[in-house]
Structure 1
Amino acid sequence: MKDKTIDYMLRTTWLAVNKMYNEEAAKFGTTMATGFTLLSIDQDEGTPSTSLGPIMGMEATSLSRILKRMEELDLIMRKPNPNDGRGVLIYLTPYGKEKRNDARERVLVFNEAIKSKIPQDKLKHFFEVSETINEMISNKKIYNQKEHTLK
């Protein structure tokens, strides 16, 4: 693109991060999506299956496929929720906890590498901008306002 747009930079950066994490995850015999799921499950209390989707920003069908595969790989187990007879809690197995630690280590290495190259004040601005973009999208403040139409 001749003129880079905000969405172009977000998309290309995310695709690069996604590719990098998938390459790292492959070294551990897993995927980025599995690692992200492992990191999203409370390793002590378990996590209700219905809260995982919103925590991860995923649709239920995509998450169901990931959870099914993770169960087949003995990374997680499902147990009835004692506080909600209809609900299910997702727990990490010992093997899942081991793989969670691998994922956590990779995330920490990435974050430290970025922090070593980008000054704290710039990272603060990056987080502020990212939060504002997410808030605008969540509150539908982009395409529902007439003043934001192209002229």
Structure 2
Amino acid sequence: MDKNISIDHQLRATWQAVAKMYNEQATNHNSTMSMAFVLLTIDKEKGTPSTSLGPLMGMEPTSLSRILKSMEEKGAISREKNPDDGRSVIIKLTDYGLEMRKFSKNHVYQFNNVVREYVSEDELNSFFKVMTTINKLIAEKKIFETANQDK
């Protein structure tokens, strides 16, 4: 199949370009795109249980653990015992983490605002509709359902 008309190729190539762009910006702040994503996912007032972060971000526990360890070493987060469940931990943003969260949020806003200058509201609505449909097809396992039924 021609990569220019392959949906998955376009998704992957675009996401890789976006990730590279964000990582270049994050490097200027001694961070990574993944760390910025964590900063934006953690509830800035109450913190977030560590067990909730992975599912919220679609990230594997081992990858998340590595990122959280690095963020704790940099002083962006702290870990506190969960008062509701002594077995789990709440991840909270430190003052430095809140500052880094602002940088991350501003970069996301800037990206969205610039894209919106070049893409019409109708085009964006179509884009979101297509992305929602793709995610639904994947979640409902409809992409390879014929192949899976043959097993």
TM-superposed deviation, 1:3: 4.4
Q: Which residue of 2 aligns with 1:121?
A: 122
TM-superposed deviation, 1:144: 1.7
Measure, in 2, the Cα distance between the counterparts of 1:124 and 1:140. 24
Q: Which residue of 2 aligns with 1:25?
A: 26
Q: Which residue of 1 aligns with 2:44?
A: 43
2:45 counterpart letter in structure 1:
D
* Matching of residue 134 in structure 1 with residue 135 in structure 2: yes
Identical-pair percentage: 52
TM-score, normalisation: structure 2: 0.94
Measure, in 2, the Cα distance between the counterparts of 1:104 and 1:26. 15
* Matching of residue 86 in structure 1 with residue 87 in structure 2: yes
TM-superposed deviation, 1:145: 2.8
Give the secondary structure class of the aligned counterpart of 1:21: helix
Measure, in 2, the Cα distance between the counterparts of 1:108 and 1:3. 30
- Asked if 1 retains the 8 angstrom alpha-carbon contact of 2:36 and 2:101, the reply is yes
Greater shift in the superposed pair: 79-88 or 95-104:
79-88
Measure, in 1, the Cα distance between the counterparts of 2:95 and 2:111. 25
Q: CA RMSD in A?
A: 1.8
- Asked if 1 retains the 8 angstrom alpha-carbon contact of 2:3 and 2:10, the reply is no
Per-residue displacement from partner, 1:24-73 (whole Å, max 9, x unpaired)?
A: 11111111010011000000010010110011110000000000000000
| Uncovered stretches (5+) of structure 1, i.e. residues with no partner | none
Q: Which residue of 1 aligns with 2:97?
A: 96
Per-residue displacement from partner, 1:1-32 (whole Å, max 9, x unpaired)?
A: 74420000000000000000000111111110
TM-score, normalisation: structure 1: 0.94
Give the secondary structure class of the aligned counterpart of 2:15: helix
Measure, in 2, the Cα distance between the counterparts of 1:89 and 1:3. 44
